[in-house]
Structure 1
Amino acid sequence: MKPYLAAAIQMTSVPDLNRNLAQAEDLVQMAVNRGAELVCLPENFSFLGDEDAKTTQAQTISDASYKFLVDTSKRYGITLLGGGFPVPVSESNGNGVSNASNGDRPTKVYNTAVLIGAEGQELARYQKMHLFDVDLPDGNTYRESETVLAGDQPPIVYRSTDLGGLGLSVCYDIRFPELYRHLALNGANVLLVPAAFTAYTGKFHWKVLLQARAIENTSYVIAPAQVGYHNALRQSHGHAMIVDPWGTVLADAGDKPGVAIAEINPMQIDQIRKQMPSLKHGTLKLAQV
């Protein structure tokens, strides 16, 4: 692993596939022009704001999103994370094939994050395990499980000689520390957290959760994000950021579309893990009372 620049992209995606992919292209190019070798797009980067439209168009969105990731990674010679897009699920066997062959709306989709290499090859894929079914104090209700099927496999760690151990996750996963400890114990030292955090929860929890996961696992956290209004009802917090293994925020994209860029330095990972070897100390087994 060598020092390199990583980018967490911040978007305002809307219910318009082509518009979103054009925005993503511009922001990826901005990151590449600033030297980024690992570029991360947020959850729902290709479509956000209208759940009925998303499920109706799921196969089109899925195909276009994947093609965009492959073409863009090859064009710029970068490793590119597509932080989450709908992949139709076969109701009968769950193999990712659409069950909408007759024009019917797919029953469910996987919220899927995909990591693509510089030659356009798929490196890793993760289907979001923890679904956002919540009733917030601001009166908003979210039921991700109405349209999304939870993945049943924990994310794998993609080990790269150049980029380190990259551990995938998606948004609401950040509230489940055991997932990140699993990643760290399986070789992750760079945790990827693409998100579309709500404006309400984000102002209270986003930054502190990212810092906690970085500190607990002595790992970098790269967290691309959605920001602003996606339709009349849905608003995201923003503040895409990169956090170092000590919990220091190295870059923050603020409250507008843009890019947060920072260096990922293996020497800092090694130094902090020697100073604070919590990963080697194991898990305390509490006695039953």
Structure 2
Amino acid sequence: MAHLLGPTDIRLLAQSLDTAPHKKWGQNFVVDAGTVRRIARLSGVGEGDAVVEVGPGLGSLTLALLETGAHVTAVEIDPVLAEALPRTVGERAPEEASRFSVIHQDALTVESLPEPPKALVANLPYNVSVPVILHFLETFPTLERVLVMVQSEVADRLAEPPGTRTYGVPSAKAAWYCSVRKAGEVGRAVFWPVPRVDSSLVLMERREPPTTSASREDVFAVIDAAFAQRRKALRGALAGIAGSPAAAEAALRAAGIEPLTRGEKLAIEDFTHIAEALASGTVGA
């Protein structure tokens, strides 16, 4: 079993590397062994599973994931931490070290990994959490599950259903790929430094995208336009991509949607129907 990192370990390790959490990379290191074991357990990963971890930091969650028997590839943007992580794993989990690798790279630019990942498990930097999740879901179709710790407000935006106050672009785009639900709350005291916001766990399980003749890019363009001005009815919000308010209204009616509806009322299937109508080329005829 790996020797997990506690609060004193984290601070001593950071001190030995002459580093500290960097705000520019959104770093808040987890200092509680119980929390990382809980995340590893909820992720459902196990013996032989290929897991990608984004933003491993000093290795708290990395060690807990290796305990499960998984093969872990960590993606770390911080050069000091990327260089130090293999040494930490070698010292604290020597029997698991052969199942670990690290990539020093911005997660938003990752296009390939040593092996196709089955799961993404991460304590994500708050400032890039949604873009990272969507990038990995699109880039790696082998991903079956995503379990991430994010700011609670972001968790709400990912998991809320249509018609709720926080439903928006992240919710709709995530629904293209996955069923999404919150999987628990995480107290502020488990982080160094202690953040000023609450955190939550979000579990995303891959499903087939909606059946549609429209491309994902076209559907996402409709989603972006629908939420660009949240208070605007869809007839006006979609006028830009449709060519005019009249064309937008025609597309909405063809999709079976009332033109004065707002974007937050629509499910992912509704956005696909709108994209199909816009792509048909007949709505303005």
Normalising by the smaller structure, the TM-score range is 0.3 to 0.5
TM-score normalised by structure 2 residue count: 0.39
Greater relative CO, 1 or 2 (CA 8 Å, sep 6+): 1
Structure with the higher helix share, 1 or 2? 2
TM-score normalised by structure 1 residue count: 0.39
Structure with the higher strand share, 1 or 2? 1
Q: Which has the larger radius of gyration?
A: 2
